[in-house]
Every structure is written in structure tokens, then in C-alpha cells.
Amino acid sequence: METKKPIVEIKNLFKSYRRGSQIIPVLQDITLDIAEGEFMALMGPSGSGKSTLLNLIAGIDKADSGTIRIGDVDITKLSETELALWRSSNVGFIFQFYNLIPVLTAFENVELPLTLTGLSRKQRKEHVSMALEVVNLSDRMDHYPGQLSGGQQQRVAIARAVVTDPAILVADEPTGDLDRVSAEDILGLMERLVHELGKTIIMVTHDPRAAKKAHIIKHLDKGVLNEYSQSAL
């Protein structure tokens, strides 16, 4: 484990927001390594910068300074267009409110990221079917998001996140909008993704039960990271 290079390596990361003339520091000198196949939970009070950090790791926001190396790429050096391309094949996103496109069926929502690849229609169909099988929703593929429960929608979102086979999944409060049973279900699914498919997951959560599923829990407070041990919960 020690000899293996971490899949995510963050060094001296700073991020602040500007509100008028006021500068609000959010992340201050974050340094963090995440090993491949890790399931990491990120906790902390509201407004502590969890989503901000997650967005930086996922390449949908720009840091002020510092480096984020993922695999062999320092994503802080990429242009916006390069980042978009990088995201499409390297990260999968799971959001609190699922963020499915309401006019597309479950199948089509999962297919969406694949339309950016050179895959044929037949190949896409195979990939989508496989992803829907992983989340156990093959029988609902023709349903629109409005016809699915929250838990089912989140499973479709997970299928969409894994369909391009990215190494990393980021999840911002994936169970935040779900009841306990559905939340358990989603967390179980995420554990399987780590154990069976070897994905690396970084999950922001407020729920200690959710965090318990993770191997590592990091605590972010006032822009500074601390580590928690499992037993502290």
C-alpha cells in the first residue's frame, strides 16, 4: 500500500471567493493524498468548504494556487476545454438531487456521457445495459426520472457516473435527500463499486452513518483538514 502512488495528490491548495471587495478564504493550504480504491468521506460543518474541495478535485472549479494531480495529470494546469474532456473520461459525478435530465429516460440519461465518445450505437447500448445492471435497474430503463423514486433516481445517476468507467467518483451528499432505507441501499451500492470495481470514491456527507461506510473520514473545518478515526464516530 505504501509503495503505491496515490491516485489523488493535492498539495498546498488555496481557494477563496470574492464577494464585492471582500475576499472570503475557503480552503487554506490543503494537502491530501487519496490512494486508489479508497472510499473517503469528507465531513464538516455547513459552509466549511466541502463542496468547494470536491469540485476542485472533480475539475469543475479552479483553485487560486496549489496542485491537484490525478493519475498522471495535474488538472490545475488544464485549460477549460481540456478539463471538460478530462472530466468526461476520468470522473463520475453523483449529486444530492440526482440531477437527471427530466426529458430523457433512465436509459438515455445513462447514455448521455457516452454520446461524447466515439462508441457505436450498439456499443453504447451494451455499456448502458451493463451500468443499469450494476445498479439493478434494468427493468426501469424506459422510465423518465419523474416516474422513479428518489432512491431509484440516484441509482440511475450512479449508473450514469460509472458508465464511462472513470477511476474516480465524487459524490456530494448522495444520501442527503433520501430516506434511511434508500440511503442504505445507495451506500451499499457505492461500497460495491469500491470493492468489486475498484473505484475510488470521495463522498461529502453530513450523515455519520454514511461516513461509517468509508475507509477514511476527513474533517474539514474553517478551511483546514483533520483526520478522524473510525472509532471516533
Binding residues for another protein, per CB under 8 A? 51-52, 55, 58, 60-61, 81, 84-85, 87-89, 93, 95-97, 99, 101-104, 107-108, 111-113, 115-116, 160, 177
The interface region with ligand ATP, picked from 5-13, 32-40, 45-53, 141-149 by CB under 6 A, is 45-53
Q: How would you class 19 by CB atoms within 10 Å of its CB: exposed for 0-12, middle for 13-18, buried for 19 or more?
A: exposed
153 near ligand ATP, rule: CB under 6 A: no
The reply to whether 52 sits near ligand ATP by the rule CB under 6 A is: yes
Of how many residues is the chain composed? 233
Q: Rounded to the nearest whole angstrom, what is the least distance from the CB of residue 172 to Mg ion in the complex?
A: 6
Q: Quick one: which of 25, 29, 47, 180 contacts ligand ATP (CB under 6 A)?
A: 47
List the grid coordinates of 123.
Answer: 456499443
Query: Which of 86/228 has CB closer to another protein?
Result: 86
What Å distances lie between residue 29 and 12, 39, 69, 95, 209, CA to CA? 4, 23, 15, 26, 29
Q: Which amino acid is at 213?
A: K
Q: Which residue in this structure is represented by grid cell 433516481? A: 153
Q: Where are the alpha helices (DSSP H) in 46-79?
A: 50-58
Q: Which is nearer to ligand ATP, 50 or 155 (CB)?
A: 50
By beta-carbon proximity to ligand ATP, the closer residue of 54 and 148 is 54
Rg (CA), the chain: 18
Q: Tell me if 105 contacts Mg ion by CB under 5 A.
A: no
Give the residue with the Cβ less far from Mg ion, 54 or 91.
54
CA distance 68 to 194: 22
- Cell numbers at residue 13, please? 491548495
Interaction between residue 23 and ligand ATP (CB under 6 A):
no
Three-state SS string over 11-44 comes to: EEEEEEEEECCEEEEEEEEEEEEECCCCEEEEEC
**205 counts as binding Mg ion under rule CB under 5 A:** no
The reply on whether position 17 binds ligand ATP by CB under 6 A is yes
Q: Applying CB under 5 A, does 51 fall inside the site for Mg ion?
A: yes
Site residues for Mg ion per CB under 5 A: 51
Site residues for ligand ATP per CB under 6 A: 17, 19, 24, 26, 44, 46-52
